[in-house]
Chains A and B, each alone.
Chain A
């Protein structure tokens, strides 16, 4: 459904910097596509370009049959109804002086073209909160009164207001506790099933990307170095960089970095 061909993103300098250097990437309908790479590899530049926050210097982005490269005006509006982006830090994308229920109503009012106080808008907001599992009782709270996980749910609810076909998720669990991360990952899987969403999931965490993705792209220094069905990449990585990345992921009970095998004899605790 989303097709990126030969994308180049060069930020003007001085000196000019090419963050994305000829990337081809496809996101299939109703599936999750993973994009992994280390900091500075160009992952975020790609998603920013897809929804028109950064300019493509070369290449072509098509959504369905429509060319949305550097979209403007009506094309941009239509693009942003169909594609929504959720960032790592939900607090930064919410107005600190607006109750979170209002923040969701605001998104619903823009999406539905109705006044924020209208019954239709309230009903839409109620439904969105329900969808992401935020209790109605929290609607009157302000962002600083919620936990990181709850805020990320709100950010997802706002993204869903336009009933998008594609969600771009950029490191959405990177700043969450592991137990909260599990809740958000489960939520994303459920939403994908229930709403028939496509997702482009970006992360530096290979374990999380593996868990969610059907297809996987590995990125380094602005280029895609490997792409294949996710399981294939993890079972038999072909590129040396992918092998290096996978080799660095900590695993339970692994013993890669320890030189000595023997455990040190220790006195009993407290004694």
Chain B
């Protein structure tokens, strides 16, 4: 692949649910360049999580994705077999989810979970893999990494678990980290540490990051570009500078005004998002 080719390229992604007409993601197209940090912002039901799961081929069984183009690191995610892709997705793409507990096996030590993928996909020896795991834990600034390898997930704090998940994703030097609401369950000070870490990895190793969040302010701080999703569609793509200059789409404008920040006028009501007279997030089931 050439230097200018996108790392991840998606054209016309549509996700549908078996046995229903529902299309929770409709005709979504975007790309992520090498070493780029891109954000997807949206509320619940916007399709942002399903989009990320479709990219990683992790959709639930009754949900299917189709697209005109779905390429990652030079591989056609639509044409190649599950088996061929397992190596690519397992080593070059790392997933970080909101709740690290749900992706960590509570009954196994951190160490054995961390080395599993590199042992299988890269054929490292047990010792090499453990040495690598210690280095990765140290890189995400986890204290006493040797001790952590022998601990179980419940022995770590929430912030440490999330950093462990990131360290685990970094074991095979991925080209892309897909992080779905990685800090939503964390305190603001821990969130700041995780964001700093993602930015540092991006800068130091050129790891591209696709970060999904409901928090437009958070994304504006770390991303090069933002994509705004609303009810399954990508309604606007813009750079952070364009966002700050004033987005074009009314939904993006409303989203920015609806969230109080540290400079919101306290004497005024918050702007609400309306859709046919009903609040957007309540309209679906009203």
In the complex with contacts A177-B43, A210-B260, A38-B240 CB distance below 8 A:
no
Number of A-B contacts (CB under 8 A): 174
Residue of A nearest to B265 (CB): A211
Of B29, B158, B258, B281, the residue contacting A269 (CB under 8 A) is: B29
Point out the residues of chain A lying under 8 angstroms from B64, CB to CB: none
Binds B, one of A14-22, A61-69, A249-257: A249-257
Question: What's the Cα separation between A257 and B219 when bound, in Å?
Answer: 11
In the complex with contacts A182-B270, A210-B260, A267-B33 CB distance below 8 A:
yes
**Contact present for B224 and A263 (CB under 8 Å):** yes
Question: What's the Cα separation between A180 and B69 when bound, in Å?
Answer: 35
Binds B, one of A89-97, A158-166, A201-209: A201-209
**Contact present for B254 and A248 (CB under 8 Å):** no
**Contact present for B188 and A245 (CB under 8 Å):** yes
Point out the residues of chain A lying under 8 angstroms from B31, CB to CB: 266-267, 269-271
Point out the residues of chain B lying under 8 angstroms from A206, CB to CB: 188, 262
Of A147, A183, A250, the residue contacting B272 (CB under 8 A) is: A183
Point out the residues of chain A lying under 8 angstroms from B220, CB to CB: 250, 252-254
Point out the residues of chain B lying under 8 angstroms from A74, CB to CB: none
Whole-angstrom distance between the Cβ of B73 and the nearest chain A Cβ: 14
Question: What's the Cα separation between A231 and B267 when bound, in Å?
Answer: 12
Whole-angstrom distance between the Cβ of B88 and the nearest chain A Cβ: 20
- Is A265 located at the chain interface by the 8 A CB criterion? yes
- Is B237 located at the chain interface by the 8 A CB criterion? yes
Measured as residues with beta carbon below 8 angstroms from the partner, the interface class of chain B is 35 or more
In the complex with contacts A147-B285, A250-B221, A251-B261, A179-B280 CB distance below 8 A:
yes
In the complex with contacts A146-B285, A150-B282, A210-B266, A257-B221 CB distance below 8 A:
yes
Residue of A nearest to B279 (CB): A183
Most buried by A among B11, B188, B272: B188
Point out the residues of chain A lying under 8 angstroms from B199, CB to CB: 257-259
Point out the residues of chain A lying under 8 angstroms from B256, CB to CB: 252
- Is B216 located at the chain interface by the 8 A CB criterion? yes
- Is B26 located at the chain interface by the 8 A CB criterion? no
Most buried by A among B9, B189, B215, B282: B282
Question: What's the Cα separation between A119 and B281 when bound, in Å?
Answer: 34
**Contact present for A186 and B269 (CB under 8 Å):** yes
Question: What's the Cα separation between A247 and B188 when bound, in Å?
Answer: 9
Most buried by B among A150, A265, A269: A269
**Contact present for B279 and A266 (CB under 8 Å):** no
Residue of B nearest to A137 (CB): B286
- Is B239 located at the chain interface by the 8 A CB criterion? yes
Whole-angstrom distance between the Cβ of A155 and the nearest chain B Cβ: 15
Whole-angstrom distance between the Cβ of B284 and the nearest chain A Cβ: 7
**Contact present for A250 and B215 (CB under 8 Å):** yes
Q: Which of B1-55 contact A (CB under 8 A)?
A: 4-6, 9, 11, 29-31, 33-37, 43-44
**Contact present for A180 and B239 (CB under 8 Å):** no
Residue of A nearest to B257 (CB): A182
Whole-angstrom distance between the Cβ of A202 and the nearest chain B Cβ: 14
Residue of A nearest to B45 (CB): A177
- Is A101 located at the chain interface by the 8 A CB criterion? no
Point out the residues of chain B lying under 8 angstroms from A270, CB to CB: 9, 11, 29-31, 69
In the complex with contacts A256-B192, A263-B239, A266-B36, A177-B271 CB distance below 8 A:
no
A-B contacts, 12 of them at CB < 8 A, read A39-B158, A178-B259, A180-B281, A182-B258, A185-B260, A186-B269, A206-B262, A249-B262, A264-B33, A264-B224, A266-B33, A270-B9
Interface residues of A (CB under 8 A from B): 38-39, 135, 138, 145-147, 149-150, 177-183, 185-186, 189, 204, 206-208, 210-212, 231, 234, 244-260, 263-267, 269-271
Interface residues of B (CB under 8 A from A): 4-6, 9, 11, 29-31, 33-37, 43-44, 69, 158, 187-189, 191-192, 195-196, 198-200, 202-203, 214-218, 220-222, 224-225, 237, 239-241, 243-244, 254-256, 258-264, 266, 269-273, 279-282, 284-286
